[in-house]
Structure 1
Amino acid sequence: MASKRNFSSAVFGHKLTEQFMQNCDQPNCVISPVSVFLCMSMLKRGANGVTEEEIDQVLGTAIGTQTEAIDLMKVFGQYSRTQFILSIANGLILQEGFEPLFRFVADLQTDFNASVKNVDFGSIEGVKKLNDWVSHATNRKINQIIDSPIPDTVMALINAVYMKGLWSKPFFELLTKKESFNTASNSAVETDIMIRTDYYEYIRNEEAMFSVAFLPYNCSSFYNFDQNQVTDWEMGILLPDENGNHLNFIKYLHHDALKKLRQKSMLRKLEVKFPKFKFESSIDLIPVLKRLGIKTSFTGLADYSKISRDGQLIVDTFLQKCRIEVDEEGTIATAVTMCAAAVLGSFVEPPVIKFHVKSPFLFFIYHPILNIVLFCGYVTNPAV
């Protein structure tokens, strides 16, 4: 039963988030670990031998089983309400003339509800068709995943996540005003700060010197039979004490630690001051996944013989774009993850990008019963 288990995506998601945040040099960042998990799970269906074993090990899934991603798809399928919208779309985009194995295509269509489209990756029209798919799947919030033809590509796997949630206790726009926000560099910026005094789940950790508030969205569509109550998705805000380095607190986003924090939280009356923010992140996932233990998937040793036997495939592109908007009404967050494969011989190893992260607070969109982090990020300068 979904409410009594921890999805493998929760373990993988924390490792991925930790690697990304510790190596990001942007003032604000956001990642959707669930989107990466689903895209990797589709890729796993085509992997064989050592390549499949490595993907299983990094995802935390049982070798030979295919249930984890299917479970996630079923859970997300129940959220399509007007107050809280959560949609998942998967796509298999094929180069014209490239014919993968029937079993691979059928598995993605059956278990991931993946749409199949043929394009010419080497043409401007092919790029447009790919980006049109992305735009439609994200409700036009992300309109582009690639900006030029990728002629050596024969296949792309895409996952898109779109979420729109209204606060169950919205902020009043008339109370929003410019206030000072201290950035990670100890400089002050003026930005729009929302204000509301109300009751929220809250926990204070005096020893570790941080506080967490949980701001619920108006969805009430998941019934927790264990506690006989309805549970909402919510945004958690982990706020270190003044001068605290946010990187030291990423460990509290681990699924076990996060679950304990939420269970120990208590309803308290809070005066919440929270900045409005809106930004995007673009992530090259290959260096991050390599650090997690994916070794052969991005080299000539990769075995994707369950996709095609006509030439050896190699994954040369693994990207994610995320966008998040937080205002008085609620949150709109969306992500697109794309994994593209080429025929061996046309592959050029992408350069490893080094990042360095700094931020005053973390945020995560989380379900306390399912124990799933849908989006996670930080903000150091909401005025950007």
Structure 2
Amino acid sequence: MIQQKFSGVRESFLQRRYAVSLGRRYVLAAASVVLLGVIGCSQVNGNSSAIAQPSLSQTDSPLQKKTVMPDTKFVDANNRFGFKLFSEIGLQNTPPTKNIFVSPMSIGTALAIAYNGASGSTQQAMAKTLEFQGISLPEINSNYAALNKLLSNPDANVQLNIANSLWVNQDISLRPDFIQITRDFYQAKVANIDFQNVTSVNTINDWVKDNTGGKINKIVKQIAPNEVLFLINAIYFKGKWSQEFAKSQTTTQPFYSVSGQQKQHPMMSQTGDYRYYENDQFQAVSLPYGQDGRVSLYVFLPKQKSNLQVFQQNLNAENWEKWMSQFNKRKGSIKLPRFQTDYEITLNDALKTLGMAEAFTNKADFSGIGKNIAISEVKHKAFVEVNEEGTEASAATSVGFRATFARQPQTPFKMIVDRPFFCAIRDNQTKSILFMGAIVEP
């Protein structure tokens, strides 16, 4: 009996195990929060609970038994999407007049989880936008799991935490296979809460705050009566420089804006050996974090005959790979402004331009999550602080879902039973009519 049970569990485990190809690189994201709000009022699957039990526990996941590198084609796809998105965002800020700081990892992870629930032409459009064409869904999920495991706290002086959660209205059930995937591959926390309770907003925001180092305090402002689900991805990064900037070397010096105006600003300064690259258009340096320098901040400075706008026009995945291959060790000095900034943007237009417009329309097919839903709004918030000790960053991406069917406003009815009528008494569980009658004279 026990042997049969064990064999069944083992067979189930082997059937669910995804193959993960070997790769050589990894992607770093700063910090992020992802929010999905699914709008509707009916149960998605009345025969299942939103708190479905995972078939792969955290102790028996194949990805935890050995270090698995994400596939190179998967990392390349993520990078291509990130640069495409940044380019679209940049077009809204031409010429550059304000800071932009985003986390493509945050946005990509959010949309990848949503991609698990997409079907038909909606899935195809998202695959094109996310650069997932040619990569199967099992490969995507396994690679995200491997990537997140590798990125988690890679160094004693580098903190990188990634967390996911599903917050489901207590009266709602979701597709259990969708919940299963978020648990098995994205290690998602799943919780049922009462969305009508005023404390629900604080409950969700407290989780976000706890998983972003306190830098994202509020991602959910309020919960509308017809919202039933929030899917949240949180990423937080904090790294100390491998070689800290001495505070005694920080001095106030002029910093020149795009318009040529100057302001006095604290400039950090140091000398040493760096990975460095220079061409006719810019200088670039790699400033490593931690003990082994596995994670770095890359700074690209357009030359005076060029500018940031020209640089952004040439910024794409292909050029990035070419530039990365040409960094070499070189002695030098650097002055870097101490800075802190936050940024907020709605990504609807950018994502539509990149090819996933259908996901925002009534033709959207997210039947893998629930029925009759489409993306209503994608928002992104980000924060970064760079000082003499290192860098701290966080971001928040909210993906809201709306109902695709139009609700007609209802006016109060009046029913005056002042003439002959029919009535019945029915057992609703069995649907049996227990009594019925026609009343012509009460």
TM score, norm. by length of structure 1: 0.82
Structure of larger gyration radius: 2
Alignment pair present for 1:237 and 2:299: yes
* Partner Cα distance (2:142, 2:92) in 1: 31
Instruction: Tell me which residue corresponds to 1:266.
Output: 328
Q: Which of the numbers 140, 144, 150 marks the counterpart of 1:72?
A: 144
Instruction: Tell me which residue corresponds to 2:83.
Output: 14
Higher relative contact order (CA 8 A, sep 6+): 1
Structure 2 portions without partners, runs of 5+: 1-21, 26-71, 408-442
* Secondary structure in 2 matching 1:295: helix
Instruction: Tell me which residue corresponds to 1:370.
Output: none
1:329 to partner: Cα distance:
0.7
Q: Which of the numbers 169, 183, 187 marks the counterpart of 2:261?
A: 187
TM score, norm. by length of structure 2: 0.71
* Partner Cα distance (2:406, 2:166) in 1: 21
Aligned runs of 1:333-352 on 2, under 5 Å?
Answer: 333-345=393-405
Runs of 4+ aligned residues of structure 1 deviating over 3 Å after TM superposition are 119-124
Aligned runs of 1:321-332 on 2, under 5 Å?
Answer: 321-332=381-392
1:123 to partner: Cα distance:
5.1
- The total of aligned residue pairs comes to 333
Q: Residues 211 and 327 from structure 1, CA distance in 2 versus in 1: closer, same or farther, beyond 3 angstroms?
A: same
CA contact (8 A) 2:97 2:258 kept: no
* Secondary structure in 2 matching 1:264: coil
1:276 to partner: Cα distance:
0.7
* Partner Cα distance (2:257, 2:354) in 1: 30
> Could you report, residue by residue, the CA deviation over 1:278-309 in whole angstroms, capped at 9, with x for unpaired residues?
11111212121111111211111111111124
* Secondary structure in 2 matching 1:179: strand
* Secondary structure in 2 matching 1:234: strand
% identical aligned pairs? 28
Alignment pair present for 1:108 and 2:143: no
Instruction: Tell me which residue corresponds to 2:352.
Output: 290
What value does the CA root-mean-square deviation take over the aligned residues?
Answer: 2.0
1:156 to partner: Cα distance:
2.1
Q: Residues 332 and 22 from structure 1, CA distance in 2 versus in 1: closer, same or farther, beyond 3 angstroms?
A: same
> Could you report, residue by residue, the CA deviation over 1:301-343 in whole angstroms, capped at 9, with x for unpaired residues?
111111124xx11221322211111000111111222222232
Alignment pair present for 1:144 and 2:218: yes
> Could you report, residue by residue, the CA deviation over 1:321-375 in whole angstroms, capped at 9, with x for unpaired residues?
111110001111112222222323479xxxxxxxxxxxxxxxxxxxxxxxxxxxx
Structure 1 portions without partners, runs of 5+: 221-230, 348-384
Q: Which of the numbers 257, 267, 274 marks the counterpart of 2:319?
A: 257
1:97 to partner: Cα distance:
1.1
* Partner Cα distance (2:124, 2:388) in 1: 45
* Secondary structure in 1 matching 2:356: coil
1:255 to partner: Cα distance:
2.8
Alignment pair present for 1:162 and 2:236: yes
Q: Residues 275 and 49 from structure 1, CA distance in 2 versus in 1: closer, same or farther, beyond 3 angstroms?
A: same
Greater strand proportion:
1
1:247 to partner: Cα distance:
2.2
CA contact (8 A) 2:125 2:355 kept: yes
Q: Which of the numbers 19, 23, 32 marks the counterpart of 1:2?
A: 23
Residue identity matched to 2:378: F
1:120 to partner: Cα distance:
4.2
Q: Which of the numbers 208, 213, 223 marks the counterpart of 2:285?
A: 213
> Could you report, residue by residue, the CA deviation over 1:84-129 in whole angstroms, capped at 9, with x for unpaired residues?
1111111222223121111111111111111112334455322212
* Secondary structure in 1 matching 2:357: coil
Instruction: Tell me which residue corresponds to 2:418.
Output: none
